[in-house]
Amino acid sequence: MNILEAQHITKHFYDPVKFQVLQDISFSVKKGQLLSMIGKSGSGKSTLLYVLSTMDTEYDGKLWIDGTLVTHKSNDELAELRNEKIGFVFQFHYLLQEFSCLKNVMIPALKLGLLDEATIEEKAIQKLDMLGLKDQALKPANKLSGGQQQRVAIARALINDPHIIMCDEPTGNLDSKNTAVIFDIFRHLTRDLGHTIITVTHDEEFARNSDAIIELIDGRLV
């Protein structure tokens, strides 16, 4: 089953002059797959990730997520879809440093507003426990190591049980040991729990060990 399908995605930038950054990109991603997007800086991979995540709607072509055509949906509809079906992990964890790890993980679920706070807290503790951080739940985020903070960011991405997790260089600031830890977590999330992960990476070993790789060169899929 395809959880995401892109057809003929084309995108231009217009400032300072018109420039084509994505050119006729079509591919699909299966449920439970770990897919890595690779390419040199400027190849268009991060731009494509933002199109796939529905954060960027200025493109030509069509995009389906979980069987629903999301192209041309309103900003409010896309925001709702992101909250329910997409989690985000970035190179920089973007945690609120003075907040506890637990509070950081709870934020997306509190924003979604489908559960009461006690239930959200219980879910957040479960996610931290799954990532080996239950004992750090009440610590301020700034008291954790970089690798631990990135695991908190993954727990935050998981709190609403998204279908897809979109990652932009999630191991870009980590050493090889912590990179291996994050990869093993991603493996567990996809193979055992059925999440789909789409990640931009410059890490060749990380990409090689993924289920699938797509490479961009000058905005084209190769």
Extended strands (E) in 92-169 = 164-168
Instruction: Say if residue 214's pLDDT is above 80.
Output: yes
pLDDT at 137: 94
Domain ranges, ordered by start, for the chain: 31-55+73-221
* Check whether domain 31-55+73-221 has CATH 3.40.50.300, yes or no: yes
- pLDDT, position 86: 93
Burial pattern 57-82, b for ≥16 Cβ within 10 A else e, equals eebebebbbbeeebbebeeeebeebb
Question: Does the pTM of the predicted model rise above 0.85?
Answer: yes
Which residue, chain included where needed, has tokens 């807290």?
Answer: 121
Contact indicator for 193, 131 with CB cutoff of 8 Å: no
- Phi, then psi, of 98 in degrees rounded to 5: -85, -15
Closest CA to 157 of 193, 191, 202: 193
197 confidence band (pLDDT: 50, 70, 90): very high
CA trace torsion 24, 27, 203, 48 (10° rounding) = 50
pLDDT tens digits, one per residue of 76-114: 999 989 988 999 988 777 788 889 999 999 999 998 888
pLDDT in tens, 127-163: 999 889 999 999 999 899 888 998 899 999 999 999 9
